[in-house]
Amino acid sequence: MITFKPLASSSAGCSYLLSSGGNSLLLDCGLGFDQIQRGLAYKVTQLDGCLITHGHGDHVKGFKGLLAAGVNCYATLETWDHLKAHRTHRSKIITPYKEFRVGDWQVVAVDCVHDCPGTVGYVIKGGGATCLYLSDTAWSRNKFPGLTHLFIECNHSVEIMRDNTIRGGMDARRYSRTRTNHMSLETLEKFLDANDLSSLQEIHLLHLSDGNSDERMFKERIAAKTGVPVYIAGKHEVPF
Ligand SMILES: [Zn+2]
Ligand SMILES: [Zn+2]
C-alpha cells in the first residue's frame, strides 16, 4: 500500500514522503535539513533517495544535508548546475524520459513548464501503484495512462487571482508570472479531462497559493470531476 505524507507544501517549502512497505522516497526537500529529519522521525538514512523537481529554494533547501547524510538525490543536470559546486557522488543526474531505478521504485522524469531550467515531474511505480508527482508547472504536454495516485500542483484559481489583481491586492507582474509558471485549478481540470482516470484512487493537491486559493472549493471541484478522495497538502505539517 502506498502512503503519501506531506511535510510541507507552499512557496515557503515543499517536501513529501512517499512510502510503500519498508520503501520510501522523499519528493523534493524544500525544508531545512533539521525539519526534514523531524518530519521523518530521524529516519532520513532509511530513505531510498530524494527526487528533486527543480532548483528553486522552496524545493531544494535541505539537499546539502541529505547528501551529507548519504542519501542519493536525483535531479537533471540543469538543476545540479543551478545548485552549483555541490555535486557529490550522491548527486545523481537524471535524463527526462529515461527510466531509472531507486531501490525498488521505477522512476521516469517528465518535463515541466516553469521558469527554472531543467524542471521535471516524476512518474513513480512501486508497491503496485503508478504515481505522478507534478509540481511547479503551468501545464503538462504529456498524458499519463494508468495512474493510481496523483500528487499535483493546484496553485491558484484564475478567477480568484484576477479578482485580487483588480482589487489591487496583487500586482500585474506577479499575476502574469504565476499564470505562466504554476498550475491553476482551471488548468488542472483540463488536465484531468485529458487523461484516463479509470485506475485513479486518490489525488493530493499541492503548493496552494496563500492568497489565491480556496481549499474547500478546490477540493469540491476536483472531487466532483474525478469521484476519488481529494486531499489538500498542508502548508506546514512539520513545525518550522
Ligand atoms: Zn515551488
Ligand atoms: Zn519553482
Per-residue cell: 61: 533547501
**Closest ligand to residue 155's CA:** 1
Interval between CA 113 and ligand 2 midpoint (Å): 10
Report the top-level CATH class of 2-232.
alpha beta
Interval between CA 14 and ligand 2 midpoint (Å): 10
Interval between CA 240 and ligand 1 midpoint (Å): 17
Residues 6+ apart with CB under 8 A from 165: 171, 172, 175
Taking only the tens place, the pLDDT of each residue in 217-238 is: 999 999 999 999 999 998 888 7
List the pLDDT tens digit at each of the 240 positions of the chain: 999 999 999 999 999 999 999 999 999 999 999 999 999 999 999 999 999 999 999 999 999 999 999 999 999 999 999 998 667 899 999 999 999 999 999 999 999 999 999 999 999 999 999 999 999 999 998 999 999 999 999 999 999 999 999 988 888 888 999 999 999 999 999 999 999 999 999 999 999 998 999 999 999 999 999 999 999 998 888 765
Interval between CA 52 and ligand 2 midpoint (Å): 11
